[in-house]
Structure 1
């Protein structure tokens, strides 16, 4: 496959070397002599991009120790001063948006527009965090005791561990790191071993800001390793909060390990997201949301649309529209502007895609379109597939699971919107949900406390593409964590209630008498 951009020049601009160190403490790199390495190849064309050295347990201990030491100073900086550092990081990301977005696309396989959009998310969260740095507020309460005042405040927590997944190789780090930074925490980031080069690039991008502002070494750290490093982090009592994004299986292991030591975990796990199309839906608007939600990032988003719950009166019309749209999907090199669907991350993902389709057929599902691996010179990596549409029942075991691939299940419902909501809620995951309807009664039921049980519930927009201003996360097996906007910052801090007696007597609460 002919490369559309000058990859060597791109890597050079972003500081990527032929073989990259195993860790960074923001101002210094380490692990350059580690024997174990991993070669990173692009799912786009199969070319080897670069190699990374894999961190050892000793490397991890050094990074966390450095982060602990940095925290002792960083927590004393006024939050607006920390916010100024984050503002400058945001500007550096603006300056490097094009290059970093291209590397995200090339290393991960999402189309360039999505790669650029991911970097824009990083810029947006920096802007959000800068404003938040002057708003880390608590509350004041009236005391039941005379001449007493009560209030609460939030203090920095410590070292925050971040484990990110391949599908958003940089944005999820920024959601956590920028909020944690303005809260006074230090961050140790373990990027996915499938997409570590974008993480390395981020460390080079922010290094100049850290140096110019005399930020202590160890505030922003990365460590490149396999699952053993993540396990070490989860069990480490020096890391009071671990934020982990990935599969439900991985999240359960992290949550169990962190919980056993009574630490805090922020889990962003699997989604089995549905869009409900009622008989009152605007189908012209809905189709764009459905197709983007189902095939965007080749179905490798936690918010990807996996189930489409359609009123029986419009089912055939919707099916025809989707088949027509899918037949025209441009699939190929994600760096080519005209393509809307890129490759899956690797051949293991392709295998999972094919296995899921075979399994759902065995259960009675009918594949209407797609489900093949593309062949030819342009698709020589074996990671390009045709997105599939399957007629299915919500009760099928395959439908109940999250397959991280572009499979859209069509599910028919009849009667009222309550029946559709029951179908939508009838899975173990609870991340994102959506309804398309112009009927206010239907949409309000969907948003009521007996409506969608997901952490995200949208009306007349799809399940995918959340803004950073709102808290992001889900319920049930999605993990219950919240990142990004709203008051998600609170998880990165420890909460403290304060009572001040400004009188000369000591009345006890609840009127208790205790005279000595």
Structure 2
């Protein structure tokens, strides 16, 4: 007896639609490794239709006053709260995330972030008008960019979707959003909710569109002539391809491309607190977080003690099914990711030591044990490249200078943290660390009011905050003669 797979559909111009050519791809639940749904494998015709809908809706949406855009976003936030359990169920089926943690750690921030950008819609500020040349007054207009093509990742399908559509809509842009091919379910549900609010308020149907598909679908979106901006959260390789493609017609590009966060632990830290917080920040969401505390640098005087304590804490962390209230994290997202994480451990050099973990858990789904690896050198593969799994590496350093050198000695530059009771040292490190965020005696908290985004190969542009809002606007200088 076979179970009929649920059919997910694109959302284009206010209507749910199959791919024009009828092609689909199976969507797999990472807890079981079995398919539970099909989603459109969208081609050129589907991308064309979504872009046409967004382009047609843009003039009217651009001219909606900020207070009305705020109203839309506030109603979307309310609707997300009202339908939270549906969103949680869809996200958990997408990703295998624990239901309880999705309820407490994702829904409230998402709703708060939408409400923040609802307020930002009414804060389109520019420099004050003035006479910078005799007889002429200059002022600044902040305007929406146009149609935004947005590609969300599979590690946080809902939340990253919010980070993309909320500032874009708040600024007066229209959106075509593509979820990952492995996690479309919650995005399709968000489209249903957002589309309902747009209809209730009488706004154009094409303001928000969702196109499901694979990398080729995303490539077609990036190459399409309509979007004025492309935003992607993904791998460095994907970001490079997007930037290269977008350069051909000078699209604006917004890239968040992963990280390799250094966690610098000095000898005067509160070790018990550091171990507890770092293990949680490293293994939360199975380490599938661009800011995860995955690369720990510990002063040599406390290295051995710290490694033992971290390994003990990791061994006590549990992974398992979404309805198990005792688990910190669920499975890796897909079979390819399981293979990638396993490969890093399989290829460890002889001088490395697996302190705990290092193996798959169970015989179905994509679960991986919390893993701590010590004895590593700065040029080791697992230090230089993003694992994106429940693996924390530990290195030893001798002094502040070496700690900074090790921390900065990777191609990523998204997030970092410093653990010390010495305020002056913390300030020196916060200046020296070349990362978009530096936490002090904590790791991973984010707030809507502060920017998230990195340097180097972690990309450019900011999510969240007024800076993230500004990225979805363009600046126009207007000058008028005072002579009439």
Q: By the TM > 0.5 criterion, same fold?
A: yes
- What are the Cα deviations for residues 130-175 of structure 1, in whole angstroms up to 9, with x where unaligned? 2112111111254332233222121111100110110011111111
Compare 394-403 and 191-200 and name the one that shifted more. 394-403
Task: Summarize the alignment of residues 67-466 of structure 1 with structure 2, pairs less than 5 Å apart.
Answer: 67-116=54-103, 117-140=105-128, 142-362=130-350, 364-375=351-362, 379-381=363-365, 383-391=366-374, 392-415=376-399, 417-448=400-431, 451-462=432-443, 464-466=444-446
TM-score (norm 2): 0.95
In 2: Cα distance, 1:162 partner to 1:39 partner: 22
Partner of 1:509: none
- What are the Cα deviations for residues 89-135 of structure 1, in whole angstroms up to 9, with x where unaligned? 00000111222123212221222244222232321111101211211
In 1: Cα distance, 2:132 partner to 2:86 partner: 59
Question: Helix, strand or coil for the counterpart of 2:126?
Answer: coil
Question: Helix, strand or coil for the counterpart of 1:195?
Answer: coil
Show structure 1 runs of 5+ residues with no match: 1-7, 9-15, 505-516
Partner of 2:25: 38
In 2: Cα distance, 1:43 partner to 1:221 partner: 26
In 2: Cα distance, 1:397 partner to 1:87 partner: 45
From 456, 471, 477, the counterpart of 1:491:
471
Say whether the 8 Å CA contact 2:408–2:434 is kept in structure 1. yes
Partner of 1:472: 452
In 2: Cα distance, 1:315 partner to 1:438 partner: 17
Query: 1:261: how far off?
Result: 1.5
Question: Helix, strand or coil for the counterpart of 1:486?
Answer: helix
In 2: Cα distance, 1:285 partner to 1:125 partner: 29
Question: Helix, strand or coil for the counterpart of 1:360?
Answer: coil
In 2: Cα distance, 1:44 partner to 1:60 partner: 31
Say whether the 8 Å CA contact 2:264–2:297 is kept in structure 1. yes
Is 1:56 the counterpart of 2:43? The answer is yes
In 2: Cα distance, 1:141 partner to 1:440 partner: 42
Query: 1:328: how far off?
Result: 1.1
In 1: Cα distance, 2:290 partner to 2:242 partner: 18
In 2: Cα distance, 1:284 partner to 1:141 partner: 55
Say whether the 8 Å CA contact 1:20–1:32 is kept in structure 2. no
In 2: Cα distance, 1:77 partner to 1:233 partner: 26
In 2: Cα distance, 1:284 partner to 1:98 partner: 35
Show structure 2 runs of 5+ residues with no match: none
In 1: Cα distance, 2:467 partner to 2:20 partner: 42
Say whether the 8 Å CA contact 2:31–2:364 is kept in structure 1. no
Compare 39-48 and 234-243 and name the one that shifted more. 39-48
Compare 118-127 and 495-504 and name the one that shifted more. 495-504
Distance 1:144 1:211, change over 3 A: closer
Query: 1:26: how far off?
Result: 5.3
Query: 1:47: how far off?
Result: 4.2
Say whether the 8 Å CA contact 2:285–2:329 is kept in structure 1. yes
Compare 28-37 and 475-484 and name the one that shifted more. 28-37
Q: Which has the larger radius of gyration?
A: 1
In 2: Cα distance, 1:136 partner to 1:359 partner: 51
Question: Helix, strand or coil for the counterpart of 1:218?
Answer: helix
Say whether the 8 Å CA contact 2:195–2:205 is kept in structure 1. no
Aligned length: 480
Query: 1:501: how far off?
Result: 2.2
In 2: Cα distance, 1:151 partner to 1:422 partner: 45
- What are the Cα deviations for residues 362-393 of structure 1, in whole angstroms up to 9, with x where unaligned? 5x321111111123xxx522x11112111112
Say whether the 8 Å CA contact 2:378–2:384 is kept in structure 1. yes
Distance 1:94 1:253, change over 3 A: same
Say whether the 8 Å CA contact 1:26–1:203 is kept in structure 2. no
- What are the Cα deviations for residues 285-318 of structure 1, in whole angstroms up to 9, with x where unaligned? 2122211121111111111122100011111221
In 2: Cα distance, 1:27 partner to 1:343 partner: 34
Question: Helix, strand or coil for the counterpart of 2:410?
Answer: coil
Query: 1:33: how far off?
Result: 6.3
- What are the Cα deviations for residues 479-505 of structure 1, in whole angstroms up to 9, with x where unaligned? 11211113211111111112222147x
TM-score (norm 1): 0.90
Query: 1:335: how far off?
Result: 2.6
